[in-house]
Structure 1
Amino acid sequence: MKLHPEITPKLARWIEQQKLFFVGSAPLSADGHINLSPKGGDCFRILGPKEVAYLDYTGSGAETIAHLRENGRIVIMFCAFEGGPQIVRLHGTGTAHLPSDDSFQSLASRFPSNPGMRSIIRIEVQRVSDSCGYSVPYFDYQGERDILDKWANAKGREGVTAYQAEKNRLSIDGLPALEQPSERT
């Protein structure tokens, strides 16, 4: 393993070529559930040598948002499924920026529009490491899935918002994730 003081230009080029990454977070409680989520599509951006962000799509849970609200801890992991073996981890502190937040629009301008978007996760990177990945298998990339886009377009903005209110309000451990506008102070 090698530690880097920041995301170097070489690592940035490699990260930008990856089609898939994983997001890990955990609550403070020892009884809480650790979360690990795969992410894909054109949803990851390097904002600076120690700052990244990704589009957070609507899903059946909102664990990452809940964990970030509670403690901010997050790790992003990229691993090569083609080419030379490599794993890169970005540890840091994250914040979920919701569409109602003042900072949302400036971040959103860096991403393509997506009907399934729920928030933008911005991470202040505190630790950058890479390792070999010698045991990661090869996989062939066949393309992006459009199922979320079709689902969100069929539901419409109001339907997606209603789904989020029902399914994404709390984490599986009962931590607050997405608040309704009337609940925000």
Structure 2
Amino acid sequence: MAVFYDEIPDKFLDWLARQQMFWVATAALQGHVNVSPKATPDCFHVLNKNQVWYEDLTGSGIETVSHMREPGNGRITILFHAFEGAPRILRMWGTGTVHEFGTPEYDALIPPEKRKAGSRAAIVIDVHKVATSCGFGVPQYQFLAHRSQLERFCDNLEQHDRASDAASDIEKKSKGIKAWWAAENTTSFDGLPALLSAHETVITPKNTYDRNAPRPKAQNGAKAGQVAQPQTQSGSGKIFDVKLLAAFSLGVMVTAAYVRVAGLRAP
């Protein structure tokens, strides 16, 4: 049964901090509904019981930002659900505000020493309703690792920006992330305005991406892009296997004893 709240209860804060991903749903007033997965470490933050924000990374689309900026719109829903442990779904309904890279509001939330590669905006959400529900229909999954491809791709672009800012190299600037924003992120799928200033700022993008850090690899021989199978069973799965083996062994022993007794009684 769903339970509704007018603010984020304290009892869910630790659980929210442990989740590895969440979903964002928005819609144009006269256009498409959009749902986006978000799954980078330390991306979602709770400011207080009625306000949260997340770091919005670069992508080929920019629907959420455009819907936040559409006059009379700004509606947004955040969805979390448990992949492991006790089942739970948690939704937050609210209205969002966009703070682009290069603005004072963005810098206050995401200083350069904490900025992820490709970060283009901070989405601040004023939450007016929270709900939890059972989550019984959500399957269990084992978390393996966060993918590094997006931040690596964005860091490659940002290297061109850093090089062009240092040497006034127009060719490198044309290959940078600001050029990508200008080409791909200034309007939405429905033609709504999206980024307004990030692609024109004179601020050089810096980030925390470590190019020398170990990169997650596919497991069990899976090729890139395939779903890797977990290498270990959950605790409940192991217990079930032990019980099944014990029951099978007991059945074999009972059958053997019966055959032995029956053979002794035979004329």
TM-score band w.r.t. shorter chain? over 0.9
Q: C-alpha offsets along residues 42-94 of structure 1, whole Å, 9 cap, x if unaligned? A: 20000100000000000000000000001110000000011111000010010
| Equivalent residue runs for 1:1-185 within 5 Å | 1-29=2-30, 32-41=31-40, 42-70=42-70, 71-109=73-111, 112-156=114-158, 158=161, 159-180=176-197
SS at match of 2:23: strand
Separation in structure 2 between the aligned mates of residue 112 and residue 90 of structure 1, nearest angstrom: 25
Q: Which has the higher contact order (CA 8 A, sep 6+)?
A: 1
Which consecutive unaligned segments of at least 5 residues does structure 1 have?
Answer: none
Cα drift, residue 147 of structure 1: 0.6
Relative to structure 1, the CA distance from residue 3 to residue 180 in structure 2 (aligned partners, 3 Å threshold; closer, same or farther) is same
User: For the Cα contact (< 8 Å) 1:92–1:127, is it kept in 2?
Assistant: yes
SS at match of 2:130: strand
Relative to structure 1, the CA distance from residue 150 to residue 44 in structure 2 (aligned partners, 3 Å threshold; closer, same or farther) is same
Relative to structure 1, the CA distance from residue 110 to residue 136 in structure 2 (aligned partners, 3 Å threshold; closer, same or farther) is farther
Q: TM-score, normalised by structure 1?
A: 0.93
Of Structure 1 and Structure 2, the greater helix share is in: 2
SS at match of 1:141: coil
User: For the Cα contact (< 8 Å) 1:165–1:180, is it kept in 2?
Assistant: no
User: For the Cα contact (< 8 Å) 2:182–2:199, is it kept in 1?
Assistant: no
Q: Which amino acid aligns with 1:125?
A: V
SS at match of 2:12: helix
Relative to structure 1, the CA distance from residue 143 to residue 182 in structure 2 (aligned partners, 3 Å threshold; closer, same or farther) is closer
SS at match of 1:126: strand
- Work out the percentage of aligned pairs sharing the same amino acid: 41
Separation in structure 2 between the aligned mates of residue 99 and residue 135 of structure 1, nearest angstrom: 38
Q: Which amino acid aligns with 1:40?
A: A
Cα drift, residue 111 of structure 1: 8.8
Cα drift, residue 164 of structure 1: 1.0
Relative to structure 1, the CA distance from residue 76 to residue 182 in structure 2 (aligned partners, 3 Å threshold; closer, same or farther) is closer
Cα drift, residue 5 of structure 1: 2.2
Which consecutive unaligned segments of at least 5 residues does structure 2 have?
Answer: 162-175, 201-267
SS at match of 1:163: helix
Cα drift, residue 100 of structure 1: 2.7
Q: Which amino acid aligns with 1:38?
A: P
Cα drift, residue 143 of structure 1: 0.7
Cα drift, residue 180 of structure 1: 4.3
Aligned length: 182
Of Structure 1 and Structure 2, the greater strand share is in: 1
Q: TM-score, normalised by structure 2?
A: 0.65
Q: Which amino acid aligns with 1:10?
A: K
Relative to structure 1, the CA distance from residue 111 to residue 175 in structure 2 (aligned partners, 3 Å threshold; closer, same or farther) is farther
